[in-house]
Amino acid sequence: VVLEKKEQKTSLQLMDYKTGKMQSVMPAGAFGEISGASLINAGRDVLIESVRGDSTDIGVINLASRKTRWAASYKTEDVLTYGSASGGQGKPVYVMREGESLLLCVLDPEDLTFETMDLRSAIPAYVQPYLENARVESAFIMGDMQLVATVSDGAKGYILLKNLGKDEEPVILGISSRKVSAGSEKIYYINEEGSLCSFDLETNTESTIAAHVEDFCLSQSSGRLAYSVREDTAVRIFMRDVFKGRGILVDIRADVRGFLLNAEGNKIWIQHTEASKTGKRTQMTTVLEFAE
């Protein structure tokens, strides 16, 4: 899903994994200002958040019919974080302020109903300052009751992990990147030292995958991981098999803007810029395919 902003209006586009082509899902301004979008229901639908006046409307666009169903509407000032399904996995979660309460609203992506709980009753008191004094930037539920939330106080970022169904102490991890991906029973993130790490939710153990990482992405099958490391003026992109634990160098470029794996993890799109002889820079997309 791609949000493209032009002249203060945002359009919604979709990139086809197989062809790399872009198609328009929703023209700019159709539903107000789109503030967030993510794929849900195994890529069949797009969850959107639309700001209209002082309200934020939450809806789902079916990609086959292009029909939109609206689930709820909230005052924009009360929405502390938008829903995230972690690359299509897990249930989208919204964190809302309602009077003195801090609500965790879990969306069932199939029937568009919300399950709501008060975070202050679920999270121990010593953790609550992370939620009250910092901005909750994203949150999602893994499995049935495992909350994964990223929060920031403006200077530092943290991951808050709490199994809402068990009476266990939450885990707080310091991060340098706001990006968190989920696969199977693990989450992936870049820690404060700039290392790409995984955290096993079953054993509460952290493992370091690579150092000095700028960015990463995980395939929807959770089997392949791509990450980039900058060395002087070059950006090296590595591919790693999550289960076998082996990583290989797949590409080296001077100006990488981003990269994306397909669902199976055997194809990667690399966005980069190249300079012509006249010095004009053009944005390019290179596609690399690998054997299973």
* Residue-wise pLDDT tens digits, 12-45: 888 776 666 777 887 767 777 888 888 888 778 8
- Name which residue leads in pLDDT, 222 or 226: 226
Percent residues over pLDDT 90 in the chain: 13
Q: Is the pLDDT reported for residue 57 higher than 80?
A: yes
Q: Taking Cα atoms as reference points, which of 25, 22, 20 lies closest to residue 11?
A: 25
Section 117-134 average pLDDT = 65
Residue 122, phi then psi, degrees to nearest 5: -95, -25
User: pLDDT at position 194, please?
Assistant: 92
Q: What is the CA radius of gyration of the chain?
A: 20
Check: CB of residue 132 under 8 Å from CB of residue 102.
Answer: yes
N residues, the chain: 292
Section 187-215 average pLDDT = 92
pLDDT band at 265, cuts 50/70/90? confident
Q: Is the pLDDT reported for residue 207 higher than 90?
A: yes
pLDDT band at 199, cuts 50/70/90? very high
Half-sphere exposure for 117 (CA within 13 Å, toward CB): 14
Of all helices (H) and strands (E), which one includes residue 59?
Answer: strand 55-62
Section 209-233 average pLDDT = 88
User: pLDDT at position 139, please?
Assistant: 74
Check: CB of residue 48 under 8 Å from CB of residue 12.
Answer: yes
User: pLDDT at position 7, please?
Assistant: 67
User: pLDDT at position 86, please?
Assistant: 53
Section 53-77 average pLDDT = 89
Section 193-217 average pLDDT = 92
